[in-house]
Chain A
């Protein structure tokens, strides 16, 4: 009886493990890919399931296997996967319209603060200098936040740019490998058009970032001058000559609560878009090329998007 129990104890886990494995394979029908066609078919399944990152890796493996009949189609779908990945990045990233509008609003507020600071300094009016100083601090903070937002958006766009550049080259490669594949040529042209728009948008963002940086530096200098002009008892938070970034964080002995009753920049009161900040046309112009353009789709070849069934023409 004892040997029988021992056998049962040892064999049962093995039996269970084997049956679970068999069930898992049966349920998901997952067989590890080995050949270029396996990788290609697995990639198309993932592409159809919108798992672009994994699909890209599988198509890369299919291309790297150097199987001549499979390679053109695999390169073509690799282009699709990369293009879709780039589009996903933009979708998931910060809203470009909002970022751009915020940048313009911050820029306009900064411009206004500079003008008021210069005017207050010219008039040598203490009340106006204090008001201009506080407004300038708010504007500068807003500029810094807007800069961060634009930089984050630029990073996302930069990654998308890389993906799309590679996608365009993949489509060109597919066309070169199979000159009869006109879809590949067409797709390469479409991706290049989108790329041009993306580059244009990136340049605009870069210009905006540069302008905001310069504006912030100018504003910083003016704030320093204002602080120097305001007498001690009336001085706003922060000692003269310490008007760095830390000022905004209340590290100079004063807290934001000390400024209660004194008005800062309007944009800090929850009004993100001041009337003079940005016209809808301007915002639209900046963001013209940033939309993913859902209306225009890349044409799909008969091999793309879904694995072909065995026995129906080519089995990959």
Chain B
């Protein structure tokens, strides 16, 4: 005959229905990483259309590279890399308890994103001037290049735009002291922003250089 004991467990939670801060942070981080995992797959599909085109149409791509040059896009890449650096410095500042430092760094991050979008706008205008448009047009020699180029870069640009909005929201909340005790919100935004940066590193090499 088995012996029965009724027992209580030591409470693993602070109180019923609420998670401890550490559990909460771990959940948030894992959730963001899983979200980024799904983003990897979407971007791979957006990029693969370009790569297939690139392999089959070397001449059109070489011509596009020549027309466009790399100066503007290299500058833009530096801006985005720098904004990623500002981002991580912002997190570092908040972890060190420096709220105003954090606000300064995140502000620079958002500014970097805005400058990047401006650069992309200039680039798109130049391309449109050359007759490279999104839709298919039998009259243009660029007819099949435009969509393969715009789809991944614009999709990335949209992510930068969302990131800028998120940065402003982080600043608004940070200014009210939301992250003074637990900077997880900044860390989550950081993960997203760095991921967008990583995507750009790959796009820059695949689309503009190779």
- A, B: real partners: no
| Interface residues in chain B, defined as those with a beta carbon under 8 Å from any beta carbon in chain A | none
Interface residues of chain A, those whose CB is within 8 Å of chain B, are none
